[in-house]
Amino acid sequence: MDNIFEHYRKTGYLHHAHVIEGEREVLIKVLSGLLAKHMGITAKGNPDVTVEHYESFGIYEARKLSARQSRHGFGEISKDGSVAKKIFIVSTNSFTREAQNALLKTFEEPTEGTHFFIIVPHHDVILKTLRSRVVMVKPEATQFHDETKDIAVKFLDSTLEERFTLIKKLTETKKGETVDREKIRRILDHVERILYTRTAGKSAGEIFREIYQTKTYLADRGSSPKMLLDNIAIALVV
């Protein structure tokens, strides 16, 4: 992503909307650092920088974002007459069709000085109509360290008791918080890949089916991530 801001430093131009695929916690930190490094914009405590996460971004959230971006920033107008930059960093696990359609005009013609960075787990959730109005960004896999792969390796190499302890840490939340299902899905993706490599795809068909079903059930907000992971932990022993 560094090249996006390098281009800004050279030309003074930054596209108004980027959709970035990847892990939100990592990308938010990276984006905050790049904004400070290349644009002199500090995210923390800045009323012109909005950082938000949604489990699901729907029509209500889209309308609220459109209304908020229509207001000018609090910063001073620069010497060249350009208005203050206003940054929206929005991450979401799911992005409804209705919400994307509602944002088409906003992303095509945002208020002057406004820039959006939308973080999603996978680019394939973005409609073609919205893709034409944004810059799609997929950071190089080697650019960031993804802890979910380390967790997957530890999960596979642990005893059953150790797996249960790890699952408890992954699924315990504070009051008002929800389990990060996308993180668990990424862990299961890595478990699947590592298992396939270790077994050369042989004699492990049943566990692959279990993992596939678990990821399917994980998408159901009423399911229990802990129970699903417990089942995988036991299935790996058999």
Tens-digit pLDDT profile for residues 17-67: 999 998 888 889 889 999 998 888 998 889 999 999 998 999 999 999 999
CATH architecture under which domain 2-143 falls: 3-Layer(aba) Sandwich (3.40)
Residue 155 reports pLDDT greater than 90: yes
Quick check: 100 and 70 in contact, CB under 8 A?
no
Q: Is 109 left (phi over 0), alpha (psi -120 to 50) or beta?
A: beta
CA nearest to 208, candidates 225, 191, 224: 191
Strands 17-21 and 114-120: parallel
The mean pLDDT value for 74-102 works out to 80
* Angle between helices 160-171 and 147-157 in degrees, nearest 10: 150
- Mean confidence (pLDDT) of the chain: 86
Dist. CA 139–CA 175, nearest whole Å: 33
Residue 2 reports pLDDT greater than 50: yes
Residue 228 or residue 5, greater confidence: 228
Q: In the prediction, which pLDDT does 207 show? A: 85
- Decide: pTM greater than 0.75: no
Q: 7: burial class by Cβ within 10 Å (0-12, 13-18, 19+)? A: middle
Length of the chain (residues): 238
